[in-house]
């Protein structure tokens, strides 16, 4: 799969996250669509697709959401996606449970890194989320990642490159 598809998908996901998901909050909490699908994409399709998704999606979120300095979300998503790629490398081929657990765990890292960067650059209060909120957002992100893994694997089976013998 080329890198154009993840780039376009990341822009669409960032637009949905910044517009629709701000109004569809679950218990006052908003899931991170770009993060969750990015982890799924990176762990299923690999480095190029995952990093393209993280960088383009992060920059698009930075442009669309007010109060974010340009590059803060992109940097955070690239770092978290690199961690997801390391987990995928160790557990290759990663199972659905491993991907969901990785998304749940990295959700904490993503929130803390993003809030830390925003506290340094934009003077946002670092104590914005409680531990219960972090757990609930992590569960929402893991659920989105689980659905995204099923969809990404189906798309990759249908439209991905076929393995061929190298003569």
Q: What is the pTM of this model?
A: 0.89
Q: What are 85-137's pLDDT values in tens digits?
A: 999 999 988 899 999 999 999 999 999 898 888 888 877 666 656 888 889 88
Q: 29 pairs with which residues across the strands?
A: 26
Residue 165: what pLDDT?
67
Instruction: Flag whether 165 is in a domain.
Output: no
Q: Specify the CATH number for the domain of residue 46.
A: 1.10.1760
Instruction: Flag whether 97 is in a domain.
Output: yes
Cα 144 to Cα 165: distance, rounded to the nearest angstrom: 36
Q: What is the DSSP letter of 95?
A: P
The answer to whether residues 107 and 80 touch, using CB atoms and an 8 Å cutoff, is no
Instruction: Flag whether 61 is in a domain.
Output: yes
Instruction: Flag whether 148 is in a domain.
Output: yes
Q: Which domain holds residue 66?
A: 4-159
Residue 23: what pLDDT?
77
User: Which of 47, 20, 52 has its CA nearest to residue 33?
Assistant: 20
The answer to whether residues 114 and 72 touch, using CB atoms and an 8 Å cutoff, is yes
Instruction: Flag whether 14 is in a domain.
Output: yes
Cα 117 to Cα 124: distance, rounded to the nearest angstrom: 9
Instruction: Flag whether 31 is in a domain.
Output: yes
Q: What are 52-63's pLDDT values in tens digits?
A: 999 999 999 999
Instruction: Flag whether 143 is in a domain.
Output: yes
Count of domains for the chain: 1
Q: What is the mean pLDDT of residues 33-59?
A: 94
3-state SS, residue 26 = strand
The contacts of residue 41 (CB under 8 Å, 6+ apart) are 6, 9, 49, 50, 53, 148, 152
Instruction: Copy the structure tokens of residue 118.
Output: 């925003």
């Amino acid at each position: 799969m080329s890198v154009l598809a993840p780039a376009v998908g990341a822009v669409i996901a960032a637009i949905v996250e910044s517009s629709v998901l701000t109004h569809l909050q679950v218990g006052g909490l908003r899931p991170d669509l770009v993060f969750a699908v990015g982890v799924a994409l990176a762990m299923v399709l690999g480095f190029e697709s995952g990093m393209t998704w993280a960088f383009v999606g992060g920059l698009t979120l930075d442009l669309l959401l007010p109060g974010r300095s340009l590059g803060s979300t992109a940097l955070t998503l690239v770092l978290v996606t690199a961690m997801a790629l390391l987990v995928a490398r160790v557990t290759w081929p990663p199972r659905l449970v491993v991907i969901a657990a990785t998304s749940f765990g990295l959700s904490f890292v993503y929130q803390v890194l993003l809030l830390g960067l925003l506290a340094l650059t934009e003077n946002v209060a670092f104590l914005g989320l409680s531990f219960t909120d972090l757990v609930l957002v992590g569960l929402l992100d893991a659920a989105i990642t689980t659905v995204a893994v099923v969809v990404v694997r189906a798309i990759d089976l249908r439209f991905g490159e076929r393995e061929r013998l190298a003569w």
